[in-house]
Each structure stands twice: as structure tokens, then as C-alpha cells.
Copies of this chain bind each other. A is one copy, B any other.
Amino acid sequence: MLAEYDVIVVGAGHAGCEAATAAANLGSSVLLITMDMNKIAQMSCNPAIGGIAKGQIVREIDALGGYTGIVTDRSSIQFRMLNRSKGPAMWSPRAQCDRMVFSAEWRRVVENTDHLDMWQDAVVGLLFENEKVVGVKTKLGIDIKSKSVVLTNGTFLNGLMHVGRKQEMGGRSSEPASLGISEQLKSIGFEVGRMKTGTPARLDARSIDFSVMKRQDGEEDFHQFSYLTNHVDKELIQRPCYITYTNPEVHSELELGFEESPMYDGTIQSTGPRYCPSIESKLTTFAEKKEHLLFLEPEGETTHEYYINGFSSSLAWDIQLNGLRKVPGLENVKMYRPGYAIEYDYFAPTQLFHTLETKLIENLFFAGQINGTTGYEEAGAQGMMAGINASLKVQNRDPFTLKRDEAYIGVLIDDLVTKGVDEPYRMFTSRAEYRILLRQDDADVRLTPRAFELGLASQERMDLLTEKIEFRNKLIDFCKEFGVKPKYINAVLEDLGTSPLKQGMKFYDVILRPQVHIIDFIDTILPLRELLESIPNRRDEIVEAAEVLIKYSGYIEREKLIADKLIRLERIVITDRFDYTSLQSLSTEARQKLDKIKPETIGQASRIPGVSPSDINVLLVLMGR
């Protein structure tokens, strides 16, 4: 450890690891302080990365030069592209991971990052000077100085765990809570709230009858999370998941425990994630439903430990067990541990700029679960953005933010800082206005050039991207120019179940048909084959990218137009232009909200709940527009 760092990151969870590596890779000297170096990037809940909208975020993190994608690829024991039957805006990669390998691989990345030191200890407070943060205080009694601090404490701030009527302080099962930080920040004016999340029981596979469940295997194709090519040394053994269901008997068993449940007896007051509810919440919210879907997911390459997705619970342990034993296939199940709920402190994210720096204290950044989000991916994305901006600020460089039409990460952060949260925030495709622009296949096209310019994405990434764009465009041009004749391709078309051509046309127009894919003609169209074979890297991905652009060009263009229009509004900067409290022509609510959020642009102002279009007009008029 040195006497002073440019950036101190507190907590080596999903947010902290991305923050620390990003800041260090931008050349700042970084210290990553975490309670337990054996639990780096521990997956607190299910061992899976990605999924709907979250998968896109991981692709974006990767495109920016982050590591969640690389680590996921290295620890994946099952990969699937969700929503393949829908349009490409919805395609979402998801991987089951080996929990221990995931953590070990993240540790390897962190350890091998230049300018990045690690220190095992707990931060108990921050050091301030003139309303700026200047370092941290640790449990070992050390004051460590720094030019900026990124807090990523996850669920640890005053964490309180519940299983039935049993309560215990802790940041996660068998890990101590973090005390001191929220009290200190509250005392200097930060708004601190309380949220809740939960996790299901872990089961011993040897006591499960998988034969009565539906098996779900992964996909064996070219997809992965990272846009890099040679980052996986050793593929892990692939493992299936299993699907089963609850039933009324299960529900009755569980209901016996409601009286003793901390959710119902008023012990737990804070809000949990509506979209990831506990099984007891599902039983009350959807009382009419006779069954709920459950996934049995392996926790690793060889372990017998299974995660039971859909059965998160803070009911008493025996109620959980009795309920589980009524599930088909789990009649004799043995638990390794019961599910539990955890309550923890978060900071209302409207207290942040888009850079994730706090408005109250200069050089202090917040990222991850403490901003009211839930999910590894959301945490990682924020960590990366906070790390980047902490580093840029130290170096007196311009901040780096992403727009809503550029990235889900842009949507995420804009939602957080503009709208705030009233329940744990997770990403959905529906939160994005420009979904077709934010696809998983082109996060590199959207973001790598920006990250490369910043000095974060490597030359290798940039070269791969340049090559991808070159061949993608070549392929599109080929499709546009190449004419196909009925006699050569009709046989293929018929095989694909689509009507034969009556006359020649451009290959491009054939590809527009939903049933048809470029690759189907590799044996029929020789010049196509030659072109495809000339692609040195990531051929399948490039073909997919080209095809998406061809098939969805109409939608894409339309969304771009709308986005451009709105972006003009977005770009009108209003930071520090108004004293909102004195603008009597605004509605009272708008006055208050605008004063609280202090939006940076008209676009952001327009998204604040309670600020109406007429309020926006008032602002535009005042600016002479």
C-alpha cells in the first residue's frame, strides 16, 4: 500500500472490480479495499450472468474494455441466447457460471492489473476536507489518502438478514456487515434509504430426482459475452438446468409459515425487487396462480450444489424445506442452507450526477447496489462508469457519460439519477426508448471507439472492431450487388419453406425474408463462400451483424431519426442556469423536483417524474428557444 492513491475503491464486488480495473487501466493509481480477498466478485445470489437486457449490459461493459464478459466466458457452464424467436433487439445472452471459477478469474484479472493495489480491510468512514473526500478510514485504524473515492458496498451497509423470526447482522450469509459509513454520510446530509433482497435455498443434487423434471441444455454455438477472441484458455464442462413447478400442496405448506414470516409480521419494512419476488410474495400477489416455475441451476462445473431459482424466501427454514418437499422431484430433498432475505442501506441515486459523482461531496462516487439497483450486471456497469469518471476527474479530463440511445448503461444511469428508485432497480428492455439501437450484437460498434479514444479499450479490441465493420459492410454490399437467379437458389428456398423466386433479384431482397439466412447459401453461391472464408475472426458474429442490419434496417433507421430529434433537446445544457425555486411559472412539484435533481440537460429535465411538458416549455422559453 502507498501513502496516497488517485482513486480508492471500497468493496471488490461486481461494481468495485470494474471500477478499480477501469480507473487503473486509465492510468490512475488505484487501491481496492475489500473485507475478504477470498470473496472477490462473489455471486451473492444465483450463479448466472446476463439474461434479458442484462446480457446487453454485459456486452456493453465488454465493448468498453471491462471484464465481466471475459470472466463470464471463462467460467461459463451453460450458455444460451434468450429470446432468439423474437427480433434482435430482444436477443439476450445468458450464462450459468461456476461460482468459484468466476470469483477466481475476477481475482486473477484484478491482481494482474497495473497501477492497481489491493488491501484487505473494512472501510469504516470517509475523510473529508472542504466538502471534498480525501480518503478513507479503515477498521485496522488506518487513514489512507486519495484524490477520489468510489463506494461500492453492495448489500453490506448495515445489512440485516432474516430467516423466519431469526435475524442476524451481516452483509451476506456468514459475512460481517459494514457499519459506520451510512451513519457518517447521513450526518452530513445524504439521503439514506433501506431496501431488501432475498435468495433461495441451496440444494444437494444427490437428493433430487431430476428424471421427473424437464432438462434444459445450453446452446453450442458461437455466441459468448466478450468481443475478444482468445480469452478463454479452458472451457468448463457444460451442465444442464432443470425445470419444475410448484403446486397447491407446496403453497399450502408455505402458507403455514406466513405468520412467522418477517415479511408479514412487519419485521421487514423495506421494499424488495418487484420483478424478483420471494415465493411468499408470489403466493400473495398472484393468489390465483396454481403453479410457479422453478429452475434448478448448478452452482459449478462439478459441485452437487444447486440453486433453486424462483424460490427465494425468508420463511422459517423448516417451512421452506416442507414446501420444497412437495415439489415434484424434490420429495427427499436435502438443503445445504435455507433461503434468506437481507435488508440494507442505499443512497437515493438522485443525489448523483451522470458521472456517478455525488452532488454533495466532490470526488466521491457511488456505484452498484448502494445506488438502489439489483443485479451483478447493473452493478458492474455502474462500477465501470464510476471508475472511469473518478480516474478522468483526477486527471482533469472531461467526464465520460453515455446517452440513452447509445447504451443500456446510459438508460440505467439516466433513470437512476433522474427518476430515482422506489424499489430495487433492475434493467428491462422496456426501459429503453431505442431498443433496436441497443442490441447485443453491436455494443462494440456503439461503444468501443469511444472507449478506445478514452484509452480504455485496447488496440486489439479496436482492431477486431475495425475488421468486423469492414467485413460486415463488405458482406452487406455483396448482398446489395449480387443478383440471384431462380434456378440456382430456388431449391434452397424451398428447403427453407419459403416461396421460390419467379425472377432474378438482388440477394439482399432474398435475405429480407424471415426464414432466410445468409449462411444457408454458403454452398450455393460461390463468391459468397469466398467472401465468408476470407473473414479471419468471428465469422459467425459478423454474418449475424450484417444480417441484422439488412433485415431490420427499416426499424433501425426510424429509431435513429427519433433519437436524433430528441437528442437535440437532450443536448441543451441547463446545468447551473436556473434558480428553480424562484421560477414561479413552473408548477410547485416541478420547482421542487428540478431543484432537487438539478438536471444537466433539457432532456434529463423532461424525464423527471412530475415535470410536465409545459414546465419544459417554460424552461425553453426562458432560454429564448
Task: Give residues in A with beta carbon < 8 Å to B.
Answer: 1-2, 35-39, 42, 100, 104, 107-108, 111-112, 117-122, 139-142, 163-166, 168, 170, 173-176, 202, 204, 302-305, 316-318, 321, 334-338
Please, which residues of chain B bring their CB within 8 A of the CB of A42? 38
Selected A-B contacts with CB under 8 Å, 18 pairs: A37-B305, A38-B39, A100-B104, A107-B303, A111-B204, A117-B334, A118-B204, A120-B174, A120-B202, A120-B337, A121-B337, A140-B317, A141-B166, A141-B316, A141-B317, A142-B317, A142-B318, A176-B176
In the complex, what distance in Å separates the CA atom of A335 from the CA atom of B175?
A: 23
Contact in complex: B336, A118 (CB < 8 Å): yes
- Taking the closest CB of chain B, its distance from the CB of A172, in whole angstroms, is 10
A100–B99 Cα distance when bound, in Å, is 13
Query: A39's closest neighbor in chain B, by CB?
Result: B38
- Residues of B within 8 Å of A35, CB to CB, are 174
Min CB–CB distance A115 → chain B (angstroms): 11
Chain B residues closer than 8 Å to A170, beta-carbon distance: 176
Asked if A163 and B175 make an inter-chain contact with CB atoms under 8 angstroms apart, the answer reads: no
Whole-angstrom CA separation of A257 from B569 in the bound complex:
63
The answer to whether B305 and A111 have CB atoms under 8 Å apart is yes
The smallest beta-carbon distance between A114 and chain B, in angstroms, is 8
Q: Which residues of B contact A316 (CB under 8 A)?
A: 141
A141 lies within 8 A of B117 (CB): no
Known: A139-B168, A140-B163. A334 touches B204 (CB 8 A): no
Q: Would you give the shortest CB distance from A466 to chain B, in whole angstroms?
A: 32
Q: A36 CA to B202 CA in the complex, in Å?
A: 13
> Taking A174-B120, A174-B176 as contacts, is the C-beta distance between A337 and B37 under 8 angstroms?
yes
CA distance A302 to B107 in the complex (A): 10
Q: Give every chain B residue within 8 A of A318 (Cβ-Cβ).
A: 142
A198 to chain B, nearest CB (A): 15
The answer on a CB contact under 8 Å between B1 and A335 is yes
Are the C-beta atoms of A120 and B168 separated by less than 8 Å?
A: no
* CB neighbours of A336 from chain B (8 A): 37, 118-120
**A42 shortest CB reach to chain B, Å:** 8
Judge whether A334 and B107 touch: CB under 8 Å: no
A165 touches B141 (CB 8 A): yes
With a cutoff of 8 Å between Cβ atoms, the chain B residues found around residue A176 in the complex are: 170, 174, 176
Do A334 and B120 touch (CB < 8 A)?
Answer: no
Alpha-carbon distance A303/B42, docked complex (angstroms): 17
Closest B residue to A42 by CB, please name it: B38
| A100 to chain B: closest residue by CB | B104
**Contacts A39-B38, A104-B100, A166-B140: A119 and B337 contacting too (C-beta < 8 A)?**
yes
Give Cα A202–Cα B121 distance, bound, in whole angstroms: 13
Least CB separation from A107: chain B residue: B303
Chain B, residue nearest A340 (CB): B140
CB-CB under 8 A for A141 and B119, given A303-B107, A336-B37: no
Which residues of B have CB within 8 Å of A117?
204, 334
In the assembled complex, which residues on chain B have CB atoms less than 8 Å from the CB atom of A321? 1
Task: Collect the chain B residues with CB atoms within 8 Å of residue A335's CB.
Answer: 1, 119
Q: How far is the CA of A255 from the CA of B446 in the complex (A)?
A: 59
Complex CA distance for A319 and B173, rounded to whole angstroms: 34
For residue A624, give the distance in angstroms from its CB to the closest CB of chain B: 57
| The residue from B100, B202, B317 contacting A100, defined by CB atoms under 8 A apart | B100
Closest-by-CB residue of B relative to A335 is: B1
The reply to whether A303 and B111 contact each other, CB–CB distance below 8 Å, is: yes
Inter-chain contacts of A304 with B (CB < 8 A): 111-112
Q: State the 7 A-B residue pairs at the shortest beta-carbon distance, nearest first.
A: A120-B337, A36-B174, A141-B166, A35-B174, A111-B304, A118-B336, A117-B334
- Alpha-carbon separation in the docked complex, A286 to B104 (Å): 41
Closest to A118 in B: B336
Q: Which residue of B lies closest to A302 (CB)?
A: B108
Tell me which residues across on chain B come within 8 A of A39, comparing CB atoms. 38
Nearest CB in chain B: distance from A449 CB, A: 32
